[in-house]
Amino acid sequence: MLRIGMGYDVHRLAEDRKLIMGGVEIPHEKGLLGHSDADVVVHAIMDALLGAIAAGDIGKHFPDTDEKYKGISSVLLLEHVGYLLEEKKVVINNIDATIIAQCPKMAPYIDTMRENIAKALKITKEQVNIKATTEEGLGFTGREEGIASQAIVLVEQ
């Protein structure tokens, strides 16, 4: 049976934080504010995968009230989601994610993001697509107040 999942995440940009996207540290004067490393693209992918198997969302599995997740790498959390899929005998057909950010430019880092996500989920890089767009200066992302990401996945059980 084929199942589709959709995910969305957003975090505010803040001083004195690293900017981590797809498990890659990207040089920037601000980073994303969150309980974990606030990696919005990985968070959107995790929510999409959890949605595809009707297993809730990342807040249910990794609550921001639990200190063991403070500052944790989202790629480690993604590996855990991968194990949940394995337990349910679900395989990932493909992942398609979009990063919405005015800056910095994501293009130089996208291949490494794809590799990190594929490795964490034990799939091929070709099964993971990541793209980035700006909002032409509009909205909170356009004003550089935050970064958002959307993801959709197709899985088979």
**38-48 per-position pLDDT tens digit:** 999 999 999 99
For residue 10, the model assigns a pLDDT of 98
Structural domain including 141 reads 2-156
> How many separate domains does the chain show?
1
pLDDT at position 97, please?
98
pLDDT of residue 106: 96
103 Cβ contact partners less than 8 Å away, ≥ 6 residues apart: 28, 134, 144
Q: How confident is the model at residue 152 (pLDDT cuts 50, 70, 90)?
A: very high
Q: Write the CA distances from 23 to 109, 134, 157, integer angstroms.
A: 10, 20, 27
| DSSP character string of 61-102 | HS-TT-GGGTT--HHHHHHHHHHHHHHTT-EEEEEEEEEE-S
What confidence score (pLDDT) does residue 112 get?
98
Identify the CA nearest to 48 among candidates 2, 5, 1.
5
CATH number of the domain where residue 47 is located: 3.30.1330.50
Per-residue pLDDT at 73: 96
148 confidence band (pLDDT: 50, 70, 90): very high
